[in-house]
Amino acid sequence: MHFDIFGQVDTGHAGALNVHLVVLQILRWAHFFFGIAWIGHLYYFNFVQAHAEKALDGPMKKIVVPNFRGRAIWWFRMGAMVTFLTGLAYILYEELIAYRTNFSGW
């Protein structure tokens, strides 16, 4: 017995299960990709930008740092937020499938 995407019982087709698996794979890979982007920006801030800012003098730092840091911090925050949200969505969606199909894996 399977449930389709709208929650109706489907006893003869496994197509609904395939839809659920595709959704879970999309969420998993989005979580993986944005997690790499998030950690990559973390390393950028710690190892690249911190050392590059030390080499700048005062007036140049006032020009360069706001332009580069603002954009990089925005991508850092979005990477962290999307990583968290896709991970949470993955867990909740998996639990929803388990609840609808009366599956108790533990």
Parse the chain into domains and list their residue ranges: 28-100
Residues 24-76 pLDDT 10s: 999 999 999 999 999 999 998 888 887 877 777 888 878 877 777 888 889 99
pLDDT surpasses 90 at 106: no
- Whether the CB-CB separation of 5 and 16 falls below 8 Å is answered with yes
Q: pTM of the prediction?
A: 0.71
Give Cβ neighbours of residue 19 (< 8 Å, ≥ 6 apart).
4, 5
